Amino acid sequence: MSATTTDRSAARRARASASGAPSTAVAPKPMARALGITALIVATVYFLAPVFWVFVASTKNNRDLTSTFGFWFGEWNLGTNYESLMAWTQGMFWHWVGNSVFYSLTAGVIGTLFAVMAGYAIAKFAFPGKKIAVGVIMAGLLMPVALLTVPLYLEFHTLGLVDTAWAIIIPSAVSPFGVFLGMVYAQNSVPTELLEAARIDGAGESRIFFTIVLRLLGPAMVTIFLFIFVATWNNFLLPLLMVSSQDLKPVTLGLFGMMSYFAPNKGAVMLGALLGVIPLIALFFSLQRYWRSGLAAGAVKG
């Protein structure tokens, strides 16, 4: 319910504001409007200036970084910075980015599938222990995850999983938030009559799930995938504890090591930071409407 209502009311408002005559909301007075616009511009500069600075800094050498105006370009050293980034990371930089893509993608796909399966089960089936399962998963939503990381390390150490890709993928693939979202979507957008009709037609449960339900849950799946993907890419403590081989490092860990063990060319570090987040930002902007529906579900239900 929440997601569709939000979309509809957002669309209605978008129309209202496009015509320039908001009928339902309050048309602000000129003074209020000027203040509001000023505040928004100040906030936007605050949010964007560091990002722009990273872009500028990644083209500068250390001398220009200290001597030229910070928010504009100096001598163009992007090529040199790229070379020193590669040299300092011993050619591992793109390998690390590749690792981040691999971990985030795998955790995202597995985590999304498992989360919607669980959400669907909770929304559409009665089974023994369901109330307990729901309670435990919802408690997991508020669990301080970093605090689990140390015992998780001890557990994975016993299992012999430390310093393998699994040590990053398995913990990242478990998303109580994904189950919550899957449950809300399944309740609202999978009609029980449709399931019953399919059962009467003789379709098995797994066939119903994979051919009908997954299609209906598409938007929820994109949202859950995004949340897991970004959380995996951004995680730092987990790979810091779990992974020590250069070969297995995600880009966040690689950049941290590069920065903390050398006194490097700062422009090169900023170039690394920039290149390490570009894939994420691209994904982020191309799928931004799914973010909003995911947050809306959390906001309205919470």
**Interactions with other proteins, residue window 24-83 (CB under 8 A):** 24-29, 32-33, 36-37, 39-40, 43-44, 46-48, 50-51, 53-54, 57, 65-66, 69-71
131 lies in the site for other proteins, by CB under 8 A: no
- Nearer CB in complex with other proteins: 140/219: 140
> Distance (Å, rounded) from C-alpha 98 to C-alpha 132?
39
| Cα–Cα distance for residue pair 225/237, rounded to 1 Å | 21
Contact flag: residue 190 with other proteins (CB under 8 A): no
Q: State CA 164 to chain mean position distance.
A: 22
Q: Which region among 82-90, 91-99, 214-222, 249-257 touches other proteins (by CB under 8 A)?
A: 249-257
DSSP symbols for 78-108: HHHHHHHHHHHTTT-HHHHHHHHHHHHHHHH
Site for other proteins in 265-294 (CB under 8 A): 266, 269-270, 273, 276-277, 280-281, 284-285, 288, 291-292
The pairs formed by 168-172 with CB atoms below 8 angstroms and a separation of 24 or more are 168/103, 168/107, 168/232, 168/235, 168/238, 168/239, 168/242, 168/243, 168/248, 168/250, 169/103, 169/106, 169/107, 169/110, 171/238, 172/103, 172/104, 172/107, 172/111, 172/228, 172/231, 172/232, 172/235, 172/238
Contact status: 197 vs other proteins (CB under 8 A): no
Q: How far is the CB of 93 from other proteins (least distance, A)?
A: 14
d(CA 109, CA 111): 6
Number of residues that bind other proteins (CB under 8 A): 112
Query: Contact with other proteins (CB under 8 A): which of 15, 91, 142, 286?
Result: 142
C-alpha triplet 281, 286, 289: angle, nearest 5°: 110
Site for other proteins in 80-119 (CB under 8 A): 113-115, 117-118
Residue 140: φ, ψ to 5°: -60, -30
Q: How far is the CB of 88 from other proteins (least distance, A)?
A: 14
Among 2, 80, 164, 187, binds other proteins (CB under 8 A): 2
Residue in 83, 130, 197, 262 binding other proteins, rule: CB under 8 A: 130
Radius of gyration of the chain from its Cα atoms, rounded to whole angstroms: 24
Judged by beta carbon, residue 99 or residue 252, the one nearer other proteins is: 252
CB of 25 to other proteins, least distance (A): 5
Among 82, 105, 140, 216, binds other proteins (CB under 8 A): 140
Minimal distance, residue 165 CB to other proteins, in Å: 15
Burial class (CB in 10 A: 0-12, 13-18, 19+), 299: exposed
Complex with other proteins: residue 86 or 230, whichever CB lies closer? 230
Smallest distance, other proteins to C-beta of residue 15, A: 11
